[in-house]
Amino acid sequence: MSELTYGRLDKMLRSLGFSCRTATLRTRALVYEHPQTGAMIILPEAPAGNRVLPHHVAAVQGTLKVHGIADPLDLTAEPQRAS
């Protein structure tokens, strides 16, 4: 299994149609929004080369599944749009 980084996750989410903006909550965060479904994912701003924390992977997988955006939910593979 390859290591998923925040940089790779960013590219994958954008390839699935998410836009991204920076917001300041308690700390700086990245807000990913999917206009077609209304899905929103909020992740802390992290260096692109850092490995994605397991609970962030779970949050992204859950959001993609609930909104029917991508399948399969293996974020280490290339993304495939849900049919």
pLDDT digits (tens, 9 = 90+) for 21-46: 999 988 999 999 999 999 999 999 99
End-to-end Cα, the chain, rounded Å? 25
Q: Is residue 81 part of a domain?
A: no
Decide if 72 is inside a domain.
no
What total of structural domains would you count in the chain?
1
Task: Give the pTM.
Answer: 0.83
- Domain membership of residue 1 (yes or no) is no
Query: Is residue 77 over pLDDT 80?
Result: no
pLDDT exceeds 80 at position 10: yes
Q: Is residue 71 within 8 Å of 80, Cβ to Cβ?
A: yes
CATH number, domain with residue 15: 3.30.920
Q: For residue 74, what are the contacts with CB-CB under 8 A and spacing of at least 6?
A: none
Domain that holds residue 54: 6-66
Residues 6+ apart with CB under 8 A from 16: 34, 64, 69, 70, 79, 81
As a whole number, the mean pLDDT across the chain is 87
> Is 73 within a domain?
no
